[in-house]
Amino acid sequence: MIALAFIAALCVVCSAQLPAPCESPKQWTGVRTLIDPSKHFFEKARVAYDEENMRTRFTEEIEQGKERDFYDVLHLYATKKEYRLNMKTKQCNVTTLTRSMRQVGVPMNATYLYTAEIGPVQIPLEHLTVAVFAGNYTEDNVKYMSYVTTPGCIPVMDRYSNSITGYIESHYFDIKVGAIPADRFTPPPECTKDEEY
């Protein structure tokens, strides 16, 4: 009888624990949409994300108001370089990165908020369970909320806000987890012409 009471108490304690921040995949490719409603800004980008080697690549289609631009943006955080190629004009800007790489997924210091179902839960295979976490990036005083699948910890959506950028929302889809060929992180030839001489 005592053993049964102990097991029942253990089950209550275990079920009352809140989920801890999970570890999102360190390497993946996919698509991101980014929205800033206050600036009438919309971006759709193909993404190559490599947290292990501290690098990202975005092939962006940007709409701001009636303007539309296309960019190939490579961030190499280990060498603190950004290559930004305007795909219309072929103009490339190489700049020094002044911020560190921001993790996509759930930072380890995040606080669990809730779990939710996206889609109709009564139809098998037509819904997705997400865990929602929140916190602050102290480097630039950004408040965030991260939505990730559970299980799997695959990024679904991020929301960011601070006094400088305002409110920004990112959605992730078509994610393929796994190693990315190194040539995906080679700077565009238009950006390295001057370096060859």
The pLDDT of residue 1 is above 70:
no
pLDDT tier at 195 (50, 70, 90 boundaries)? low
pLDDT by residue (tens digit) across 11-70? 444 455 778 899 999 999 999 999 998 888 999 999 999 999 999 999 999 988 888 999
pLDDT, mean over the chain: 89
pLDDT by residue (tens digit) across 105-128? 999 999 999 999 999 999 998 999
Residue 150 phi/psi, 5-degree rounding, is -140, 115
Q: What percentage of the chain reaches a pLDDT higher than 90?
A: 72
